[in-house]
Amino acid sequence: MLVILPLTFNGILQSIAEPAAIVSTTSGLLKGHSSKGVMSFLGIPYGADTGGQNRFLPPKPPEPWENVRNAEKYGPQCSHQKPPMYGDITKILIYSDLPTSEDCLSLNVWTPDVNTEEKRPVMVYLHGGGFFMGSSSDRYYEGGNLARENDIVVVTLNHRLSVFGYFYLGPDAGPEYSSSGAVGMLDIVQALTWVRDNIAQFGGDPGNVTIFGQSGGGMKVSTVMAMPSANGLFHKAIIQSGPGRWLNTPKEASKLTADILRKLNLTAADTKQLAAIPADKLLDAASGGMRLIPVMGNNAIPVHPFADSAPEQSARIPLLIGAMKDESTNSLLSDPEWRSMDEGTLKQRVAALVGKQDAQKVIDMYQSSAPNDPPQFIWASILSDSGFFNETYPLADLKSEQPSSVYMYRVDWRSPVLGGIIRAAHAVDLPFVWDNVDVSEALVGKGPDQERMAQMMSRSFAEFARSGDPNVPGVIPKWPEYNKIDQATLIFDNQVRVENNPDQEKRAYWQAFKASSD
């Protein structure tokens, strides 16, 4: 339902170009805000307060409201602790400063209009920050440009994090807590259920929903693909710099739980006391909860998402997946030795990673492909490849065995900020996918190259959400489907191109190394 609200000043009707809008949802009426051809509805509750006696339990529906609810402000971030950050990384990555709360299950919608006759593709974003921090209100995720320029509906959401989302209490807590190690992911499923039930009122198509996420958000996408309760709630998936193949097992999670409970002088059966502990004290006991990730082996997440095979329930879900060429450089900004690294330090670090017997072999492999790179960038490339790409291609290989299409990309475009030292770092793709270069100068700079990257990435990602095929003639070259033989990869750069089997020798080494280490 759309209602246009006229505005008055001193009793005189004022004509405005972009009137406010009221939309009916399953919980009540919402008033949004219109700007630059996009309507936004912020801070929409999709679940009840998760604090107190609701802590560690699956999400509950939100309380309905009687009057029109103003949806012009983001909701609070879900409770978490940010790890200490220092040095230049604080200059390029800027996070939301909104307050935190356990009453945080809210989402945000951007849409070109709320005319229910036209059903637009829907893109639902799962934010990064691992499973322990982050929020939907970070500046990079403002969805107005992406929605307007591609005629789609964009949704972002908050969900429980850290100890509140992934604290495994085990059988001692009782059957009602059987999903305690996965309730943050169940929040996401509840948000997707809200999308199914309400998004048509916002001009979206509940039958054409794409989930996408970067970093920890990509891992959440991988996990949702293996959750039975999410089956049918989404139809395409995009994983950016976050291939999630394995989760915590109950055995692994139990060790983490025991350490936290020991600090609190409680047991898993002390659920009333655990529900009453102040949020900050619980986070302190969990040391921020960086090691707490979803726990599998329960009704919410029965199996690892992509361990030895792709999840059968998502066999017909097309996947777009990729990563940055220099994923590790922004984290290395906090390493005091990185910029001045010499050959000796490089060899010591590589030996610590792969063993003395392989250290020089690995260094030679990387120096042969980048002979002009100093030790600091050789080390950055080794860290990037041994981590993100070591799982990205195997995940794509598993998914390509299913009947749905897979598309692979890599971003090689180098950011000029900080003298160009971060290159194609983790998160540099965010301003481009979201078409938000205008608020991301600290991360990517500004200029025609940045605008072109934003056009290519935002339009191809949105087209994938629309049709399951990211090809946009005249914007990017032909992007072929991925298969295990050719491993065709679109390289986003100033000169966009397709490469088959890129860096095959390096990836083969890291796969063999991982297999020998398991």
Residue 507's alpha-carbon distances to 291, 389, 429, 485, in angstroms, are 26, 7, 22, 14
Look at residues 309, 166, 319 and name the one whose alpha carbon lies nearest to residue 246. 309
Catalytic status, residue 79: no
Stretch (H or E) spanning 39: strand 38-45
Catalytic residue among 142, 327, 391, 463: 327
Which residues, in sequence order, are CB contacts of 372 under 8 Å at separation 6+? Answer: none
Gap between the Cα atoms of 213 and 238, Å rounded: 7
Gap between the Cα atoms of 508 and 503, Å rounded: 9
- Judged by DSSP in three states, 205 sits in strand
**SS3 string of 443-502?**
HHCCCHHHHHHHHHHHHHHHHHHHHCCCCCCCCCCCCCCCCCCCCCEEEECCCCEEECCC
Would you list the DSSP string of 376-439?
HHHHHHHHHHHHHHHHHHHHHHHHHTSSS-EEEEEE-PPB-GGGGTTBSBTTTTHHHHTT-GGG
Catalytic residue among 215, 287, 381, 400: 215
- 77-116 burial by CB neighbour count: b if 16+ within 10 A, else e? bbbbbeeeeeebbeebbebbebebbbbbbbbbbbbbbbee
CA 37 to chain centre: 26
Query: Residue 310 in contact with residue 221, Cβ under 8 Å?
Result: no
Catalytic status, residue 235: no
DSSP H helices, 152-210, are 162-166, 183-198
Beta strands in 99-189 (DSSP E): 100-101, 106-111, 120-126, 153-157
Which two tokens mark 239?
A: 């994983």
Catalytic status, residue 340: no
Give me the residues paired with residue 13 across strands: 8
Catalytic residue among 222, 229, 426, 463: 426
Report, as residue numbers or ranges, the catalytic residues. Answer: 215, 327, 426
